[in-house]
A and B are shown apart, each in its own frame.
Chain A
Amino acid sequence: MSNILEVENLVVDIPVSAGMLHPVQGISFSVGRGETLCIVGESGCGKSLTALSVMDLLPSSASRNADRLILDGEDILGVDERRMSDLRGDRMGMIFQEPMTSLNPAYTIGNQLEEALLRHRNVPRQEARDRAIYLLEKVGITAAASRLRQYPHQLSGGLRQRVMIAMTLMCGPDLIIADEPTTALDVTIQAQILLLLAELQKEFHMGLMLITHDLGIVARVADRVAVMYAGQIVESGTAEKVFGNPSHPYTQGLLDCIPIPGKTKRGAHLGSISGIVPSLVGDLSGCRFHDRCDYATPECTAADVDLKAGESTDHAYRCLLSPAQCAENAKRKVPA
């Protein structure tokens, strides 16, 4: 499988009044063609900034660094804004968290959809319109042709997110980045939208980088999973490996928080991870998770912990514990 996106040692720094904020600290991942990579983690762990880094849409105060940033064989680390804007919307598209505010209130759905294609392709407007109608139907919007004349405020949140998805598909991109696309939606709509994304991803054979904290969905759609904590990837691997053999205490904790129908006893306390995410301002060292970890030892704070291979290939985690110890912990914590 050729990689559509390769990121190596991505670092994002943002100067804040208290010092230098390090929201993303050297993360590496890749997305293959036709592959779904899910990035999981709690709020503030750097997921969104990672996505924006790839699109080069970070706020202007943030600085981005990486060893490698390759999109479809092209190094996009040093390219100028002009080239970047050629790639955005054409080779890669992004779906945002807030469908209610992500569409321009002043223009019709049709105008905003067509604009995405007309920017990158020299095609007549009619062709753009046909493509828009085709894609609106693809994302499950009925009476697509008449929707083109509607304005965003006339559509519900779920419909707007479908429009956003159709918009990113206008140029047939190789990579779609979806940043918590369902967080702002009704629970009943959430699963629909995510499954729609997964379907489209298969149909158009795109790479999908899905940022979410819905582990249930991750288990259903992900090929590979990267668990982020405090600006680092703490565990990554194929979905089976990460879910079947969660090694990092944080991943184990996350999985422990999910109630399982039939297993979790009615009225029993759900699992939780005590403590809060550490501040990412200033110099950081040691395991970022140590103060919330049940297995922490003095060694954990001594030095940064590197990612290391798990029991099998395609699986890595960032912990001093050996694979065997992790498996032992997992058995105790996560009911299999």
Chain B
Amino acid sequence: MLIYASKRFGIAVLVAITVSLLSFSLIYLSGDPAMALAGESATQEDIENIRRVYGYDQPLVVQYTNWLTKALVGDFGYSNYMRVNVADIIFARLPTTMTLGGCALLFALVLSIPLGVLAAMRPNTMIDRFALSLAVVGQALPSFWFALILVFWLGITWQVLPITGTASWLNFVMPSVALGYYITPAVMRLTRAGMLEVLTSDYIRTARAKGLRPPVVLFKHALRNAIIPVVALAAVQFGFMLGGSIVIETIFAINGLGYLAWESIQRGDLPMMQAIVLILACFYIVLTFLADMLNAFLDPRIRVG
């Protein structure tokens, strides 16, 4: 187990380094950063000044190392637009996005896993068809459109839920549904496929031959095995959701990381974008690592060599 965990951890660190390289290079993606900062009417001298002040004249390796060592202690630099430390803003907004992401994931899992199990237990029945159509619709609906539909009906026509802000937990209902619904189809279909396969396996027959009750057969023996690929998928989907939260937060005017990312892109606030990309990517990496650990816990073939 320790060997497996340290291997996975090593890979996670490597991926994190790669991601940091990518997000560092963002600053050069849109041309010379010093020129961009100086503005259109700046003289050559101004540009050189800015280049020196911000350290853009140093070799790239030095720049990267400086940036990374600062980032590691939570210093992401200074937002030229907002005139504040990037880290302050980001860590103020992060909890909102995590709450949204967590709620959305919870909604998605609570909806899709039981549906997937039910569909697998009664294949080609009404419940299976219902789950399938839900999946098809979920796959086909763009989340921004679905979010707007929710806003229109629940928020404006019937006025049962607030449509903007983060004042209470009610504000999180629609965004979580809109965001979570997007990953429901994949999780549900994988649960269904996994359960279908596991339910016809020999060890399920053995469990029944032992006289175990159907719930024990279903949950202890079948679901535990069927859920293993779902864990990995859910982690990947959570990453997509963090990306999707940019759209959802913008629609519902939720002051989270996604909304901040959208604002920063519009303003060309490069240090802010850099930091957001890095932090979201790191979250994704941590999550994947945790999913690997959870899988190792569920599947002894991974854990015990």
Contact = CB atoms under 8 A, between A and B. Distances in A.
Interface of A: 55, 57, 85-90, 93-94, 96, 98, 101-108, 115-116, 119-120, 151, 153-154, 164, 167-168
Given A105-B299, A106-B300, A96 B202 contact: yes
Q: Which 3 A-B pairs have the closest CB atoms?
A: A89-B211, A88-B211, A89-B210
Interface string B220-233: 01001100000000
Contacts of B203: 101-105
B207 A104 contact: yes
Nearest to A55: B209
Interface of B: 201-203, 205-213, 216, 221, 224-225, 298-301, 304
Contacts, number: 75
12 contacts: A85-B208, A85-B211, A88-B210, A96-B206, A104-B203, A105-B203, A105-B225, A105-B299, A106-B298, A116-B210, A119-B213, A153-B301
A220 B154 CA distance: 77
Contact of B210 (A115, A153, A154): A115
A93 B147 CA distance: 55
Nearest to B212: A119
Q: Is the interface of B mostly helix, strand, loop or mixed?
A: helix
Contacts of A107: 221
B300 A153 contact: yes
A101 B211 contact: no
B295 to A, nearest CB: 11
Nearest to A170: B210
Contact of B221 (A87, A90, A104): A104
Nearest to A81: B214
Contact of B208 (A57, A98, A105): A57
Nearest to B303: A151
Given A57-B205, A106-B225, A153-B300, 11 more contacts: A85-B208, A86-B211, A90-B211, A93-B210, A101-B201, A102-B202, A102-B205, A116-B210, A116-B211, A119-B216, A151-B301
B212 A115 contact: yes
A151 B210 contact: no
B209 A98 contact: no
Contacts of A120: 211
Contacts of A86: 211
B202 A106 contact: no
Contact of A98 (B202, B224, B298): B202
Nearest to A100: B202
A154 B304 contact: yes
A88 B221 contact: no
B237 to A, nearest CB: 23
B167 to A, nearest CB: 44
Nearest to A153: B301
Contacts of B298: 106
B204 to A, nearest CB: 8
A119 B210 contact: yes
Contacts of B213: 85, 119
A153 B221 CA distance: 16
Nearest to B305: A154
Contacts of A90: 211
Given A151-B300, A153-B300, A154-B304, A102 B206 contact: yes
